[in-house]
Amino acid sequence: MAMWVQGVGRSGYRLLRRQMQPKQSKTAGMQRCGYRICLLRVLRLADLPTFAANRESNHSNQTINPQTDMRKKIVAGNWKMNLNLQEGLTLANELKAALAADAPACDVVICTPFIHLAKVADAVAGTVIGVGAENCADKEKGAYTGEVSAAQVKSTGADYVILGHSERRQYYGETAELLKEKVRLALANGLKVIFCIGEVLEEREAGRQNEVVGSQLADSLFDFTADELQNIILAYEPVWAIGTGKTATSEQAEDMHAFIRGCIAGRFGEQAAENISILYGGSCKPSNARELFAKPDVDGGLIGGASLKCADFKGIIDAWK
């Protein structure tokens, strides 16, 4: 399978958007099958000239109204397995004070280890800061030692949960089916899901990034409804550029985000694609955040190491101003 053309970017998404309308069928399985056929078609380079011709011929009577202003701009911190309880509370209070003095122009979320959730949620209650967990169980309750359910996460005052992070997929072998169940339980318990997708270095070098990311979306999310999708935020992780010495450019980020939005349009429709927020989960810091966030399909960032220092995290938040 050939890779999507570098540089197609926003115009490529417009093509996808018009061509990849969801097929009506009697079962979810048939819907997915129809979508997969369509996805395979748009990934073929030979089809792109035809799409371009169709786009030009339809341009006069099909006007696209950009709705990017409807999408939430979000900067979410992922603390990972860092900071003890006291350190976490100190950081949360520092961020609360900084944002009280200088209000953000985007939504701000901090996703913390389980031990922090209740106290951090209390500390930032009534402020612009949302709180989320970094994971939840794929079981509702029961004898699952060491697990934390979506209902338990919600009971702490948290409103978000990260699912499908590349580290969970890599180190803990989380599968598409398991992640689908986690998403189902999270949504059922009133949590907003930050769902991570992305390809590793070998997949990128083989030109399989679109195939991999498209499959991650389809296999875990495409059985949900458009209404349920409203409580899902996507985060693209260029795993190949994290700790490998390689760098993902803002153009590469935009190309993949546009592709992802096209996939969402193909399954859930144009409106859903325009409304969903897609965060960049690569190496985002104050020095490059403004360039990344200026891309039309990048709606914010899922921030790792830079979220552990108030000044750095605030610098990224300020990139929306």
CB 135 within 8 A of CB 79: no
- Which residue type occupies 122? D
Q: Is the pTM of this model over 0.85?
A: no
Q: Which class for 306: exposed (0-12), middle (13-18), buried (19 or more C-beta within 10 A)?
A: buried
CATH fold of 72-320, please?
TIM Barrel (3.20.20)
What is the per-residue pLDDT for 230? 97
Catalytic (active-site) positions: 165, 237
Buried b (16+ CB within 10 A) or exposed e, 28-39: eeebbebbeebb
Mean pLDDT by runs of 10 across the 321 residues of the chain is 37 44 38 41 35 33 44 97 98 98 98 98 98 98 98 98 98 98 98 98 96 98 98 97 83 98 98 97 94 97 97 98 96
Of all helices (H) and strands (E), which one includes residue 75? strand 74-78
Contact yes or no for 203/172 (Cβ under 8 A): no
Q: In angstroms, how far is the first alpha carbon of the chain from the final one?
A: 40
Reduce the DSSP state of residue 76 to 3 states and report it: strand
SS (H, E, C) 112-159: ECHHHHHHHHHHCCCCCEEEEECCCCCCCCCCCCCCCCHHHHHHCCCC
